[in-house]
Amino acid sequence: MAKYRLFCLDFEGQIHLAEFLEAADDQEAIRRAHDLKINSMKCEIWQGQRLVATLNADDLKNQAATFA
pLDDT number for residue 11: 82
- Gap between the Cα atoms of 28 and 46, Å rounded: 13
What are the sequence ranges of the domains in the chain? 1-40
- Alpha-carbon distance values, 39 to 24, 33, 43, 61 (Å): 26, 12, 10, 10
Give residue 12's pLDDT band: very low, low, confident or very high (50, 70, 90): confident
pLDDT number for residue 59: 63
Greatest Cα pair distance, the chain, in angstroms, is 33
Q: What is the mean pLDDT of residues 26-31?
A: 94
pTM: 0.78
In tens, the pLDDT along 31-63 reads 998 888 766 788 999 999 999 999 986 665 655
